[in-house]
A = this chain, B = another copy of it.
Amino acid sequence: MLEKTTRMNYLYDFYNTLLTPKQQSYMSLYYLDDFSLGEIAEEYEVSRQAVYDNIKRTEAMLEEYEGKLSLLQKFQERSGLIKQLKTMLQEETPSKQAMLDVIAELENLE
């Protein structure tokens, strides 16, 4: 499991289009721009608690989407396979069959 902030940044990246504009604003200020809950509350003229509740709910929604669509997990798996291919291509004479095997794994991930 990635460190929480990193994970939320990734999940936000994959699923932000499914959030409301307000959820997007709070999450983006909190996770991308590193605002504090107090600063966001001041900016939007709401209570710190309201911002906190909204962000907690949004985090749970992002985890729920990941539970259903696994976009982050598949991204990580694809990245690993792509890295393998690049490593193979650095060899003097890469094995074509080994590369085809990795490509087949990439296809099966879909």
**Oligomer copy total:** 2
Contact size range, A: 20 to 34
Answer yes or no: A100 CB below 8 A from chain B CBs: yes
Complex CA gap A15/B86 in Å reads 31
Tell whether, in the assembled complex, residue A85 and residue B110 are in contact, meaning their CB atoms are under 8 Å apart: no
CB-CB nearest in chain B for A68: B17
Task: Decide if the interface of chain A is mainly helix, strand, loop or mixed.
Answer: helix
- Tell me the chain A residues, 3-23 only, with Cβ under 8 Å from chain B: 14-15, 17-18
Answer yes or no: A50 CB below 8 A from chain B CBs: no
Complex CA gap A92/B60 in Å reads 51
A→B interface (CB under 8 Å): 14-15, 17-18, 65, 68-69, 71, 75, 78-79, 82, 85-86, 89, 94, 96, 99-100, 103, 106-107, 110
